[in-house]
Amino acid sequence: MSYPEIRPRRLRRTPAIRRLVSETRVDPAELIVPMFVKEGLTEPRAIASLPGVLQHSRDSLRKAAVEAVQAGVGGIMLFGVPEHRDPTGSGGIDPNGILNVAIRDVVTEVGDATVVMSDLCLDEFTSHGHCGLLTPGGDVDNDATLDAYAEMAVAQAAAGVDVVGPSGMMDGQVGVARRALDAAGHTDVAVLAYAVKYASAFYGPFRDAVESALEGDRRTYQQDPANLRESLREVALDVAEGADMVMVKPALPYLDVVSAVRAAVDVPVAAYQVSGEYAMVEAAAANGWIDRERVMLETLTSIKRAGAQIILTYWAVEAAGLLRQRY
Ligand code: PBG
């Protein structure tokens, strides 16, 4: 019988030694919490398919933002749910539209204590639910949409946002947002580009959260899940257009993409653990089939290990608390 001389198990023997040799730690400061605010609400409202996540009123959003700061999260990504929608999504540009009002509220409340970000996309505001304007034939009109995004970026910056997140997957959206921001004097507002965004079925619960009116799908602008090289092309374009940070979305089913993007660029790489990823874990945990907290932290660790230094997750506030106990 020959016994091994080299024994990797030595480094797994106690919690202390495992902690010593741990290669990946998730820091609360790297987590961004997405938050929804709905126009006209007086009380926050639960979202059935996203247990634990709320549609906020303006008031409850301010309080939740303060709690997020206290938990030590790195940022807040805001999404607005308007009362009324129209074909051009004008509520996204209107300075009194719910998202712009919410940006002002949150920035007033938390100042520079965390990074305030906003989704730069029309889908929450359009009556047809697409991320852009439509041609008379019903196609999504890339260049007309860019003009709207330019105005929306400037409106969000005027409301005080730190970072805009163009997420509509129109060609040229990062460059247009950058130029519009600069022309309006908002040279300090950064762009977190949703550079890689797949046409994913994992967005289902989000569409409930924003009460999306979409019929059909987004496959003429979001990417085919089969493609990896295409993502590197998207990222290169966005960096060339001035993206300060790039994001991959969804996260867990696309860790190979996160890793390839990390290797390809020097800007910070974020990954968005989307609504369906969260909902799957919550549903399985509610059935007693998995250990909710362990799975939560395992997913975040895996996304970080793959190369994302920033993670958007609906668990950000809770995970920040758990992570602080752990380290
Ligand atoms: C577009 C947007 C979407 C998500 C974030 N930004 C929806 C979509 O592209 O259909 C999805 C996020 C999630 O599922 O958690 N405004």
Residue range 215-251, pLDDT digits in tens: 889 999 999 999 999 999 999 999 999 999 999 999 9
How many angstroms separate the CA atoms of 314 and 45, rounded?
Answer: 16
Instruction: Report, as residue numbers or ranges, the catalytic residues.
Output: 197, 249
Tokens encoding 175:
């460059």
Whether pLDDT at 213 is above 90: no
| Pocket flag, ligand 1, residue 33 (CB < 6 Å) | no
pLDDT band at 291 (very low <50, low <70, confident <90, very high): very high
| Pocket flag, ligand 1, residue 203 (CB < 6 Å) | yes
- The correct answer on CATH 3.30.930.10 for the domain covering 24-326 is no
* pLDDT reported for residue 40: 97
| Pocket flag, ligand 1, residue 174 (CB < 6 Å) | no
Ligand 1 mean position, distance from CA 199 (Å): 10
The protein residue with its alpha carbon nearest to ligand 1, atom 14, reads 203
Q: What value does the mean pLDDT take over residues 76-82?
A: 98
* pTM of full prediction above 0.85: yes
Which ligand 1 atom sits nearest the alpha carbon of residue 222? 9
Nearest to 25 by CA among 238, 281, 302: 302
**Is residue 39 within 8 Å of residue 83, measured between CB atoms?**
yes
Q: Which of 99, 123, 170, 203 to mutate to test the pocket of ligand 1 (most atoms within 8 A of CB)?
A: 203
Tokens encoding 316:
């950000």
137-166 pLDDT per residue, tens = 999 999 999 999 999 999 999 999 999 999
Q: Which of 47, 49, 121 to mutate to test the pocket of ligand 1 (most atoms within 8 A of CB)?
A: 121
Q: What are phi and psi of 312, to 5 degrees?
A: -90, 125
How many angstroms separate the CA atoms of 254 and 250, rounded?
Answer: 6
| Pocket flag, ligand 1, residue 206 (CB < 6 Å) | yes
Q: Is 176 left (phi over 0), alpha (psi -120 to 50) or beta?
A: alpha
